[in-house]
Chain A
């Protein structure tokens, strides 16, 4: 049971990554690889601050802001210097590897003996439950600590999702969505599309970095290699989410990204339990995204052929 709760918790943490990838890939149609670096940036900034006894909410916020800065850099490379979108992300991601090493001072920071958001929510949960160590959840015996961490993360993700939904319905947020949709139109309506891209990538990478900050606190360490392949992971979650909600309304797509992330993590957990070699995880993830990208094409082709038959 604690395995299931852990799976849900990580799924929810990574749903912030999925939301970030959703903003860059889907709203702006910008293949932003920066996320591989910014998730680690968020983790390393939060970790180094936590080790220096900064309060966990502040450390997480700092991780978020660092991610925003990284995203803005990618946006500026693309819009001000006209560098190809993919290359802009690759440049910043590569640079971030060194930055992350400098931030942490080494390649790995353990967080087992410091106060984190996770230990804080555990403490709150335990005191709410009057120091009981287990709790009965629909017949399952669940550790109060695990449950309270899950509840705290779920709350944080829900708040983020609602904020994002609200943002995309404001004047600024709508201009941003329209920028990814039709640049000619937004310029004709007086929107500076370059600024929209910079700001949008900042928000995207801020969310990704926040996911990194929370992940580091949950798994108890920040590691310089933890970001590898995370963009593809996020993309897989977004694709699953789109299949789940089958709607392009902004509220539904946000919910879809959250559900997709949890479901994908669940699938991975099941696969690992069935004996999938963890080393094959990235390969399987990439293969999954590949399939998800080409299956619609094959379905379409099949339909066309059927129509001609």
Chain B
């Protein structure tokens, strides 16, 4: 479904601020799999998602999605294959448009937009059904501006918008990190529902070890722009949050060792 081959990206190349965010990442996603990505700060997990989404073009490597090479496609062209939910609840919706207008924009994701009336009666009927399933009482407020909604409500709507037309790939970028615990649980439950119902292929970044352990069928751990662990099948099912924390501790120790070793070498030989 999604194939990344030797994908690299360096920001601010050849300047003091050079950041090698992705260093030759290889990743192969089966159709219907739900891959969770964890990693330290600055490990490149969000960058990986953005590389797939086309927020920027990668320096090296290739990206294949649903049988097509999308390496050089601009972001808006890839949108016909990809549904996205962002970390910031403000990023996924247009605040001054109404709920129904936002949904009708999503109903044409990746399709041509002409002078057809945007809010057809049949579409509004489906909106009412789908929005009432969120159990937020928004189905009677479809004409209200999104700007008046809470973060949790916006994230739930963004998820609905991203999956309104079945995407080949669903990208979730820490989509509950900015929510209160209750809203986060709700959005996670909705995410599980929609992924199971539509048999979606999903790539999800998270900071929550508990989410990482309990969700998805495969887990990838990233560090310094590389994939350092890849747990699949039975191994992934056995993983607990504590195991993951232990892996992070390992990474941290290895890091310290590198630094102190470098210091020692410098003291002795330089």
Would A170 and B86 be within 8 Å (CB), given that A185-B92, A186-B105, A193-B76 are in contact?
no
Once A188-B53, A188-B92 are accepted as A-B contacts, the answer to whether A178 and B97 lie under 8 Å apart by CB is yes
Those 6 A-B pairs whose CB atoms lie nearest each other, nearest first: A190-B79, A190-B110, A171-B113, A178-B94, A181-B94, A188-B84
Q: List 24 A-B contacts (CB under 8 A).
A: A169-B118, A170-B113, A170-B115, A172-B115, A174-B101, A174-B104, A178-B101, A181-B95, A182-B90, A182-B93, A184-B91, A185-B94, A187-B76, A188-B86, A188-B92, A189-B108, A189-B110, A190-B76, A190-B77, A190-B80, A190-B110, A190-B111, A191-B76, A193-B76
Report whether B113 and A169 are in contact in the complex, using a CB–CB cutoff of 8 Å.
no
Q: State the CA gap A191–B109 with chains docked (Å).
A: 8
Q: Closest CB of chain A to B206's CB: distance in Å? A: 19
- Find chain A residues with CB under 8 A from B92 CB: 185, 188
Query: Closest chain A residue to B83 by CB distance?
Result: A188
Contacting residues, chain A, for B82 (C-beta < 8 A): 188
Do A190 and B109 form a contact, CB below 8 Å, given A182-B95, A248-B96? yes
The residue on B at minimum CB distance from A175 is B113
Q: Is the CB of A170 within 8 A of B84?
A: no
Residues of B within 8 A of A187 (CB): 75-76, 79
- What 0/1 readout, one digit per residue, does chain A (159-189) give for beta carbons within 8 Å of chain B? 0000000010111111101100110111111
Instruction: Check if B161 is an interface residue, CB within 8 A of chain A.
Output: yes
CA distance A182 to B96 in the complex (A): 10
Bound-state Cα–Cα, A167 to B118, Å: 10
CB-nearest residue of chain B relative to A192? B76
For the residues of B in contact with A, the DSSP-based class is: loop
Do A189 and B161 touch (CB < 8 A)? yes
Contact yes or no, A188 B75, CB < 8 A: yes
**Which A residue's beta carbon lies closest to that of B54?**
A187
Contact B84 A191 (CB under 8 A): no
* Cβ-closest chain A residue relative to B116: A171
Task: Write out the residue numbers on chain A whose beta carbons fall within 8 Å of the beta carbon of B108.
Answer: 171, 189-190
Residue interface mask B110-125, A partner, CB < 8 A = 1: 1101111111000000
Decide yes or no whether B178 CB sits under 8 A from chain A: no
CA distance A30 to B94 in the complex (A): 17
With a CB–CB cut-off of 8 A, which chain B residues contact A181? Answer: 94-97
Q: Is the pair A177, B94 in contact by a Cβ cutoff of 8 Å?
A: yes
A36 to chain B, nearest CB (A): 27
Interface residues in B55-89 by Cβ distance below 8 A to A read: 74-77, 79-80, 82, 84, 86
Given that A169-B118, A248-B145 are known contacts, is A184 also in contact with B86, CB under 8 Å in the complex?
yes
* Residue B106, interface by CB 8 Å: yes
- Tell me the minimal C-beta distance from A242 to chain B in angstroms: 13
* B111: chain A residues within 8 A (beta carbon): 190
| A189 neighbours in B (Cβ, 8 Å) | 79, 105-106, 108-110, 161
B97 lies within 8 A of A174 (CB): yes
- Bound-state CA distance A154–B114 (Å) is 29
Q: Are A177 and B96 in contact (CB under 8 A)?
A: yes
**Cα–Cα distance between A208 and B96 once the two chains are bound (Å):** 25
Chain B, Cβ-Cβ closest to A26: B96
Closest to B117 in A: A170
For B113, give the chain A residue with the smallest CB separation: A171
| C-alpha spacing A172/B145, complex, angstroms | 19
Expressed in whole angstroms, the Cα–Cα distance for A305 and B104 within the complex equals 43
* 5 more A-B residue pairs beyond the given contacts A170-B117, A182-B95, with a C-beta to C-beta distance below 8 A: A171-B114, A174-B104, A189-B109, A190-B108, A248-B145
Evaluate contact between B94 and A182: CB separation under 8 angstroms. yes
Kindly report which residue of chain A lies nearest to residue B74, judged by CB atoms. Answer: A192
